Chains A and B, each alone.
Chain A
Amino acid sequence: MAQKQDNASGIFAVEEQPGEAIFALAVCVAAAVLVLQIDDQTKWLEGSSLLVQPRFWPSLCLAGFSIFALCHLLSSVARQARSGKYGFFPWAELSNWAQPLEYALYFMGYVFLVPQLGYLPTTLLVLPALTLRSGYRKGRVLLAAAAVGLCTVLVFKSFLQVRIPGGHFYELLPDGLRNFLILYF
């Protein structure tokens, strides 16, 4: 949070962040790649005026994106050069950016497991496992995680009936139980 000041302008205080120049550079490169692709990825219709071309609007957006990205890069580099606080490659910060990749993979694992095991069993498995991975070892916390998982399934699937299909695992169960689980869990 911005350092507290006696007037309200403190909420707009901008502090230099490590890695902002490298991020701005990456965005500029992405913008340049997209601009280079515009010919391939959009159509130009012969005989139509510029404003009705399917290419017009994406070009406008990409032009704005590129110009602002370039300005952001220049201002970030200038700010960094002025302060000299962080290097162009603040490795510690870049490794911080990679940290959530592990959790993104867990998320995708959860996504792949639900259609196989079913929503309730997967949630009861994943939430306590994630809690364990986060460093909590007390049984009370793991139990709370399982309870939150159960409540999530009860609220969203059983009560609100959101569209989450039953798992393939449910097919192995006896008829009555299978239908019940597919419908509510």
Chain B
Amino acid sequence: MEIFLSALETLWRLDVILALLVGAVGGVIIGAIPGVGPAVAIAILLPATFSMEPIVGLTMLLGIYGASMYGGAIPAILINTPGTPVNALTTYDGHAMTRQGQAGRALSLAYSASFFGGIFSVICLVILSPYIAKVAPLFGSRDILMAALLGVILVIIAHRGKTFAAGMLVFFGMFLDTVGMESVRYTKRFTFDQSWLLSGFDLIVVLLGLFALSQAFVLLVGRDRKTQVAPVAGKLFSGMAELFRYKRVAACSSGFGVIMGIIPGVGEFLAQFFSYTLAQNLSKEPQRFGHGSPEGLIASESANNAVPAAAMIPLLALGIPGEALTAMMLSVFYVHSIIPGPALFQTQPDFLVTLYLCLFLVNILVLVVLMMTTNTLLKVINVPGRFLGACILVLSFVGVYSLRNSIIDCAACAVFGLIGYILKRLKLPLVPIILGMVLGGIMEQRFRASLARIETPLDFINRPVSGTIFAIIIIALIAHGVALVRARKKRLLNPGI
């Protein structure tokens, strides 16, 4: 109770309230503009949050993360263009409903499902916290090493159809992290006698290049789209009542979102995919999926909104980010010397409770904002792309230059921007590079820490936790192999697919 009251006191501070508002409103706007997305916004804002208190910075970033998915549903439903990549499945049924003249109903359902998913995952986070606090200290170096390895493997195999490319990019990210002076023997690695390479590649420089600057390039060299968006009619509150009719779909999908959020390296795409497929299989009207099914829309939106809070679980408990956005947030912890991991639950429970309350409030705030301002928000959908690109380019400068006022950092950021641009043209994922950098660093550190207790390679997995995670890795690899064989057989039987 004392911790809860202390958290409430922190929450009542003006800077935290402002961060909540900026996160919620800013996130919705960013999500509603196709071509920006939370990764760009968080990458740009990240260095600015370093001067804030950790709870203020994290509240703002988490607000943007969560709120952008709500906002991303608006263009997905109205103009068939997902505002953020994770709203891709929302277009299937959401836009179909718009074509049938039910845009208001679709938006209302999407908001309600998103709210349900968001709150569901925060409740799961709160319920799971005492257990996480008990389990997390059981994780030693070898266990965290295995958990990070699981993350790396899942990142690779979760990119169906692009497994080799994802593997290549994960290892590229891991390699980038090794560049510079290593901290144990103080030897140089791949510095090519360049003094600026001694400190290696800063994660934020790479992030800003790959996510923000590359997106600026994409928009600047692209063409503006012009779409007519009609004002949304109807009561946006009505979706709550309709959602109640599909409570089983919403609960199952949110559950998938939570599970996929907890598992490092998986994220929103698989959560959406599994929940949508399950909802379709369980539905009495599976043929309506993809043609305006409210169940499909609920499945997609509740699953992806359940991920952000759940993704905080491996980050807070083990210090292992599950996807790119929580990897970015890890920097906020490190800058303020807060080490996420098992000890955090013992040493700073009030910080965690404040964070949970912020996540809870962000969802309520976003829902209120959306219910009141949807028709106003429609204007941002049509912000010209090239103009937006110019703005992102200028904003990227703040992020990278304010780190250490280094022109070399800016040049490196520009190079990563060009790499990111080519990867985007090739439709290759950027997230594996970032996760490779972060998880690679964690793995090397834990690997070295484990060596004192290692005599044979089997010692890495002779602890109950590391052994269990290793078994999960093997099962995941076998399941992936089986899925590949099945897909190949299916292709051979139906060459048209």
By a beta-carbon cutoff of 8 Å, the part of chain A in contact with chain B is 1-2, 4-15, 17, 19-20, 23, 27, 34, 37, 41-43, 45, 51-52, 54, 57-58, 61-62, 64-65, 67-69, 71-72, 75, 93, 96-97, 99-101, 103-104, 106-108, 110-112, 114, 123, 126-127, 130-131, 134-136, 141, 144-145, 148-149, 152, 156, 160-165
Contacts and interface: CB of A to CB of B under 8 A. Distances in A.
Interface in B131-176: 160-162, 164-165, 167-168, 170-172, 174-175
B393 A130 contact: yes
A101 B402 contact: no
Contacts of A9: 273
Interface in B226-284: 269, 272-273, 276-277, 280
B168 A65 contact: yes
Given A19-B426, A103-B220, A104-B418, 15 more contacts: A4-B290, A5-B290, A7-B277, A7-B280, A11-B88, A27-B172, A42-B190, A43-B187, A58-B189, A61-B177, A64-B170, A65-B175, A68-B167, A100-B418, A127-B390
Given A14-B162, A41-B191, A97-B422, A112 B221 contact: no
B52 to A, nearest CB: 8
Contact of B402 (A45, A149, A156): A156
B91 interface: yes
B274 to A, nearest CB: 8
10 contacts: A11-B269, A12-B273, A14-B161, A42-B189, A104-B213, A107-B397, A130-B394, A131-B387, A134-B220, A136-B386
Nearest to A17: B426
Nearest to B47: A162
A92 to B, nearest CB: 12
B171 A71 contact: no
Given A15-B427, A108-B410, A4 B91 contact: yes
A51 B448 CA distance: 8
B440 A61 contact: yes
A51 B414 contact: no
Contacts of A103: 216-217, 220-221, 389, 393
Contacts of B277: 7-8
Contacts of B390: 127, 130-131, 134, 145
Contacts of B476: none
Contact of A165 (B291, B405, B447): B405
B382 to A, nearest CB: 13
B407 A112 contact: yes
B417 interface: yes
Nearest to A163: B402
A178 to B, nearest CB: 19
B401 interface: yes
A34 B175 contact: yes
A61 B402 CA distance: 30
Contacts of A23: 422, 426
B175 A11 contact: no
A23 to B, nearest CB: 6
Nearest to B192: A41
Interface in B98-133: none
Nearest to B398: A156
A8 B272 contact: yes
Interface in B421-464: 421-422, 425-427, 440, 444, 447-448, 451, 454
Given A131-B390, A160-B51, A65 B417 contact: no
A58 B174 CA distance: 8
B53 interface: no
A123 B311 CA distance: 37
Given A1-B88, A57-B444, A65-B168, A107 B396 contact: yes
B178 interface: yes
Given A107-B410, A149-B394, A20 B161 contact: no
B160 A12 contact: yes
Nearest to A99: B221
B126 to A, nearest CB: 30
Nearest to A74: B164
A10 to B, nearest CB: 8
Contacts of B48: 156, 160, 162
Contact of B289 (A6, A162, A164): A6
A43 B92 CA distance: 54
Contacts of B269: 11-12
B405 A163 contact: yes
B398 A162 contact: yes
B185 A45 contact: yes
A54 B171 contact: no
Nearest to A1: B88
A54 B190 contact: no
Contacts of B91: 1, 4
A17 to B, nearest CB: 5
Contacts of A42: 187-190
A145 B427 contact: no
B411 interface: yes
A61 B213 CA distance: 26
Contacts of A57: 178, 182, 444, 447
Contacts of B160: 12, 14
A12 to B, nearest CB: 4
B417 A104 contact: yes
A156 B418 CA distance: 25
The 6 nearest A-B residue pairs measured at CB: A100-B217, A14-B161, A68-B167, A64-B171, A65-B171, A134-B386
Contact of B290 (A7, A19, A62): A7
Contacts of A27: 168, 172
B86 to A, nearest CB: 10
Nearest to B174: A61
A54 B421 contact: no
A155 to B, nearest CB: 8
Interface in B22-81: 47-48, 51, 81
